[in-house]
A and B are shown apart, each in its own frame.
Chain A
């Protein structure tokens, strides 16, 4: 029999966890959401979705061929990146910019690995490219489902942002079911947002399933949602208070809490918050590995997103807030590592002293 390979040491058993399996699970969850969007709004979207995924895979194949000299895919993860990218963009996004964004996402974000690689979420990197290079197309919501009036179409979140009011200018039921329609005072025609943002309860269920299957960790997503909600509550509290005082002539806790609660809930359910919590917050490579780091990164993204929504001209801040969290990921990991090591060394010293004394 052959001598044992010296490089092979314990453990001699491994779980079935693999990058491919993780990607397939994520892709399955995302495809469910995309399929719902296609059923409700635009069956043609599925074609675009599949095409972009195929393009992602093709780019990965060529990258592996040129960079590693192999005729193979690495893990097929570029399909997931492509799916997240196309699901987070306006449905009217033309194909050519999308291909450019995909190249940026896969070639710069997804494929390079190791210490010198960008530890940024590849799909967000692609989206950032579109925000910089195609800033008109990235906010073009017309032509999705509502008649293309070209001037007053907007997602519920954009209307909320433009009105700067905590009052319910929308129906929460509409947001929950994902059927966005109607108008606001004859000015704004409601149109759905990105395909991945719709059907938040389904996205949440997908998230729970992915956590349950061990595909992703609950910490970054949950931390993002909780801190985002808490930050929204703090940031919108003065506005909600002013609204109550203006409407009723005095402050009452009940109406204040109801108004603020509805505002926070709206912020949670609108835009890409839930989508990001499930498909972006815990993405491997760009998220800290340590548990404390993951909680902190989710917190950074949650607070940043709330600040962007409240105080900037952007109605949504997912890209910036998560790229900031991504940039901080190595630092958060280092801090968590040092903190854990410091606590351990203190304990070790405390228990070694009496041993040394008695020896």
Chain B
């Protein structure tokens, strides 16, 4: 994509229904519905409570389904504003005394894709010496972090400053892709923030690799950023904090990239959490065709989707790609070593997947599996088309 990403735009029209599969939104504990069928809810109202993050409805409407697995909302009226206006600026007294509680109340989950509850992360990071804004977007074809950083810098900076104040952190860093022009623009926009270029290539935005850049060596296995004195928060997450502080709006907006490369479509949008992908693509005039495949969350770490899949707080992108040729025919490993060279953590992917196929797993296998963050680099370079990432994902799921 040429040039800098434009400001994320709101939707052209509103969806008729929002769907919230509670399992998708439950991170850090199960959600329990706070509404009943027939209730009328305003935009931003809590519809489910969770131990680490509440769930809010993005648009006003009437509850049509409310059970432990799913909440559905019929959006009404159809001409309500998007994004909604919010409750107005929040006072410090509501934010600072119990900042993790504030984050849980606004329902913030990590918006870089992982959806880890921000309240839990921030609570564990008490005593951190630096807050790192992770703007090091590296998945191919996604530009939403950059678009937010460049065009909504006031909100990101407000979210970062509020987080830093709440934690007593003096130093704020901004980790970004190594690009001289981008770095210069960001230094101009974020005067009181230290901009740190963190590499050009995927997966430069992984926390572990950002830490490597910050401490000058590969961080030890098993270490979490807060143990080294860093709290790393995604740029869009901090924008959401800024939005909650400035406008009193909980986590109901999802800035994301929508791209259909075959048709030259690439848009950065702000959409309501809970909207179906099919509705979104129909609004943009690019409904998926019979030969298309839908991918949410990026080509390297994302997941296949259907038009019925709904957007959650961690959906960074919706991509429409040709279904044919997504994966070649799997062949036997030729021991070329490409996966070993590609792993950014120096793990042994093919040996690991072979060990996973032969339980019980040794301590070495468990240790390597625990380190893997499923970046997919090994899989992407495998000349024998072995689905390494899929097998590692299954191994991690079985281990969890």
Genuine A/B complex: yes
Interface, chain A (partner B; CB < 8 A): 1-15, 17-19, 21-22, 74, 113-114, 117, 119, 217, 284-291, 294, 329, 333-334, 336-338, 340-345, 347-352, 354-355
Residues of B contacting A: mostly: loop
With A341-B363, A341-B364 known to touch, is A5 a contact of B383 (CB < 8 Å)? Answer: no
Q: Which of A284, A285, A349 has the most CB of B within 10 A?
A: A284
Q: Indicate with 1 or 0, residue by residue over B206-245, a CB within 8 angstroms of chain A CB atoms.
A: 0000000000000011111001000000000000000000
- With A289-B350, A290-B351, A345-B367 as known contacts, state yes or no: A11 contacts B383, CB within 8 Å: no
User: Given that A9-B389, A348-B222, A348-B370 are known contacts, is A114 also in contact with B304, CB under 8 Å in the complex?
Assistant: no
Nearest Cβ in chain A — how far from B147, in angstroms?
Answer: 21
- Which residues of A lie under 8 Å from residue B368 when comparing CB positions? 337, 340-341, 344
CA distance A347 to B346 in the complex (A): 15
Q: Which of these binds chain A: B27-35, B97-105, B153-161, B288-296?
A: B288-296
Establish whether residues B290 and A2, one from each chain, have CB atoms under 8 Å apart when the complex forms: yes
* Residue of B whose beta carbon sits closest to that of A342: B364
Question: In the complex, what distance in Å separates the CA atom of A19 from the CA atom of B293?
Answer: 27
**Chain A proximity of B349: nearest CB distance (Å):** 9
B residues 342-365 near A (Cβ < 8 Å) are: 346-348, 350-352, 355, 362-365
A-B contact pairs, 16 of them (CB 8 A): A4-B293, A5-B323, A10-B299, A11-B301, A11-B389, A12-B326, A285-B334, A288-B337, A289-B348, A291-B337, A334-B351, A341-B366, A345-B364, A348-B222, A351-B220, A351-B227
State how many angstroms separate the Cβ of A211 from the closest Cβ of chain B: 11
Interface of A is mostly: loop
Q: A18-B383, A348-B222 are in contact. Are A284 and B336 (CB under 8 A)?
A: yes
* Contact B289–A1 (Cβ < 8 Å): yes
Using a Cβ–Cβ cut-off of 8 Å, how many residues does chain B contribute to the interface with A? Answer: 72
Chain A nearest CB: distance from B143 CB in Å?
16
Distance to closest chain A CB from B95 (angstroms): 25
Quick one: given A14-B327, A345-B366, are A340 and B222 in contact (CB under 8 Å)? Answer: no
| In the bound complex, CA of A13 to CA of B261 (Å) | 13
Name the B residues within 8 Å of A290 (CB-CB): 337, 340, 348, 351
Cα-based distance from A21 to B352 in the complex (angstroms) = 26
- CB-CB under 8 A from B299, the residues of chain A are 10-13
Considering the chains assembled together, what is the distance between the CA atoms of A15 and B379 in angstroms?
A: 10
Cβ of B363 and Cβ of A9 under 8 Å apart? no
Pick from B331, B352, B393: contact of A9, CB under 8 Å: B393
Q: Decide: A355 near B224, CB < 8 A? Known: A12-B295, A14-B328, A294-B337.
A: yes
Chain A neighbourhood of B337, CB < 8 A: 217, 284, 287-291, 294
In the bound assembly, the distance between CA atoms of A352 and B321 in angstroms comes to: 41
Residues from chain A with a CB closer than 8 A to the CB of B183 are none
List residues of chain B with CB within 8 A of the CB of A4.
293-294, 304-306, 323
Q: State which of B227, B298, B371 has its C-beta within 8 Å of the C-beta of A354.
A: B227
Look across to chain A and name the residue whose beta carbon is closest to the beta carbon of B335.
A285
CB distance from B202 to the nearest CB of A (A): 10
Q: In the complex, which of the residues A10, A113, A287, A349 contacts B389, with contact meaning CB atoms closer than 8 Å?
A: A10
Q: Does B9 contact A (CB under 8 A)?
A: no
- Give 8 new A-B contacts, CB below 8 A, not counting A119-B335, A289-B340, A338-B364: A2-B290, A14-B381, A17-B338, A17-B382, A113-B333, A288-B335, A291-B341, A340-B346
Q: B323: which of A2, A9, A113, A334 is its contact (CB, 8 Å)?
A: A2
Take A13-B380, A14-B328, A349-B222 as given contacts and tell me if A337 and B335 are in contact as well, using a CB distance cutoff of 8 Å.
Answer: no
Chain B residues, Cβ within 8 Å of A14: 327-328, 379-382, 385
Query: Shortest beta-carbon distance, B299 to chain A, in Å?
Result: 4
Residue B42 interfacial (CB < 8 Å): no
Q: How far is the CA of A288 from the CA of B341 in the complex (A)?
A: 12
How many angstroms from the CA of A117 to the CA of B331 in the assembled complex?
14
Q: Using CB atoms, name the residue of chain A closest to B390.
A: A9
* Chain B residues whose C-beta falls within 8 Å of the C-beta of A342 in the assembled complex: 363-364, 367
Query: Do B367 and A344 touch (CB < 8 A)?
Result: yes
Q: Chain B contacts of A347 at CB under 8 A? A: 220-223
- Closest A-B pairs by Cβ, 3 of them: A341-B364, A348-B222, A113-B332
Closest to B295 in A: A12
Nearest opposing residue in chain A for B371, CB measure: A344
Is the pair B335, A286 in contact by a Cβ cutoff of 8 Å?
Answer: yes
Who on chain B is nearest to A18 by CB? B383
Q: In the complex, how many angstroms separate the beta carbon of B315 from the nearest chain A beta carbon?
A: 14
Find out whether the CB atom of A12 lies under 8 angstroms from the CB atom of B321.
yes
Residue contact A352 to B365, C-beta cutoff 8 Å: no
Query: Once the chains bind, are A351 and B335 in contact (CB under 8 Å)?
Result: no
- In the complex, chain A residues whose CB is within 8 Å of the CB of B326: 5, 8, 12
CB distance from A302 to the nearest CB of B (A): 19
B387 CB to closest chain A CB (Å) equals 7
Nearest to B347 among chain A residues (CB) is A340
